[in-house]
């Protein structure tokens, strides 16, 4: 049963995000946050927006650039970037020291949606996703939760087959991307970087802290290696 704590008023959203009431309405109309009723918004959708978007002053990278940055931080070769793009991206990464800033820049690597489905389908869905895995970061896996990547052109079919219902608090997180899914799978298995990127925007403070700490280490290591 939903409680008052699950919802926020327009003024509360405005205060939390640091935007005017008019902008709150725009965010709801575009689907960035979820409106429950007139002047009432879903708290989880607002908190997720705040974690993923930050203050709005940080410019996000295009999908392919974001994956190129993840590859570089993983010490892997980027896919689909020219020499000039690689050089510029490398220079930008050298300048970033804040893992929160990095996580926001990487936001558009995939479109993130959360869903509810019968618990019996969780494992079947997990088998169809690229799941970086919490255990890579020393976090305990929850069998009742699944979070992973899939190609954008497959999400509608998966949702239909498993009769999923979009739910901001659902246990199924789908990250659909236009990047070559085999490349995503390679990065997920290569090291902890992709898992850390996902964790850095978690609504769970401990998980987010672990993700940010790992990203901070990857940024430091990248900077040191790139100067050699």
pLDDT tens-digit map of 6-26: 888 899 988 888 788 888 888
Q: Residue range 182-204: average pLDDT?
A: 92
Q: Residue range 110-128: average pLDDT?
A: 94
Contacts of residue 26, Cβ cutoff 8 Å, sequence gap at least 6: none
Handedness of CA 144, 116, 176, 128 (dihedral sign): positive
Q: What DSSP character marks residue 178?
A: S
Is the model's pLDDT at 172 over the cut of 90? yes
Is the model's pLDDT at 57 over the cut of 70? no
181 contacts 149 by C-beta, under 8 angstroms: yes
Q: Please give the span between the terminal C-alpha atoms of the chain, in angstroms, as a whole number.
A: 57
Is the model's pLDDT at 143 over the cut of 60? yes
| 3-class state of residue 173 by DSSP | strand
Q: Hey, how many other C-beta atoms are within 10 angstroms of the C-beta on 217?
A: 14
70 contacts 62 by C-beta, under 8 angstroms: no
Q: Residue range 22-42: average pLDDT?
A: 86
Is the model's pLDDT at 151 over the cut of 90? yes
Q: What is the pLDDT, as a whole number, of residue 1? A: 39
Which stretches of 34-98 are DSSP H helices? Answer: 43-53, 63-73, 83-95
Q: What is the pLDDT, as a whole number, of residue 5? A: 62
Q: Residue range 165-186: average pLDDT?
A: 93
> What is the rounded average pLDDT for all residues in the chain?
89
Q: What is the pLDDT, as a whole number, of residue 45? A: 85
Is the model's pLDDT at 130 over the cut of 70? yes
Is the model's pLDDT at 227 over the cut of 60? no
Q: How does DSSP assign 106-156, residue by residue?
A: TGGGSEEEEEE--GGGHHHHHHTSB---GGGGTPPP-TT-EEEEEEGGGHH
Is the model's pLDDT at 69 over the cut of 50? yes
Q: Is 171 exposed, middle or buried (0-12, 13-18, 19+ CB in 10 A)?
A: middle
| 3-class state of residue 57 by DSSP | coil
Q: Hey, how many other C-beta atoms are within 10 angstroms of the C-beta on 112?
A: 17
Q: Select the highest-mean-pLDDT range: 124-128, 166-170, 190-194, 203-207.
A: 124-128
Q: Select the highest-mean-pLDDT range: 38-47, 100-109, 132-141, 172-181.
A: 172-181
Q: What is the pLDDT, as a whole number, of residue 54? A: 62
| 3-class state of residue 54 by DSSP | coil
Q: What is the pLDDT, as a whole number, of residue 90? A: 93
Per-residue pLDDT band at 139 (split at 50, 70, 90): confident
């Amino acid at each position: 049963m939903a409680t008052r704590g699950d919802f926020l008023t327009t003024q509360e959203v405005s205060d939390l995000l640091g935007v005017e009431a008019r902008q709150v309405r725009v965010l709801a109309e575009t689907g960035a946050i979820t409106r429950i009723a007139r002047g009432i918004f879903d708290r989880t959708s607002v908190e997720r927006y705040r974690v993923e978007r930050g203050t709005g002053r940080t410019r996000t990278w295009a999908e392919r650039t974001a994956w190129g940055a993840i590859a570089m931080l993983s010490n892997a070769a980027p896919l689909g970037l020219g020499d000039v793009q690689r050089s510029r991206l490398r220079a930008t990464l050298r300048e970033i020291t804040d893992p929160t800033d990095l996580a926001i820049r990487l936001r558009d690597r995939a479109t993130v949606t959360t869903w509810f489905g019968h618990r019996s389908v969780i494992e079947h869905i997990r088998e169809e996703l690229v799941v970086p895995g919490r255990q890579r970061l020393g976090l305990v896996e929850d069998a009742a939760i699944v979070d992973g990547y899939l190609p954008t052109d497959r999400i509608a079919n998966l949702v239909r087959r498993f009769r999923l219902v979009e739910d901001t608090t659902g246990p199924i997180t789908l990250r659909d991307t236009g990047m070559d899914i085999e490349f995503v799978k390679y990065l997920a298995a290569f090291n902890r970087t992709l898992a850390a990127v996902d964790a850095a925007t978690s609504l769970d403070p401990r998980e987010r802290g672990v993700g940010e700490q790992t990203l901070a280490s990857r940024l430091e290591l990248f900077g040191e290696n790139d100067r050699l």
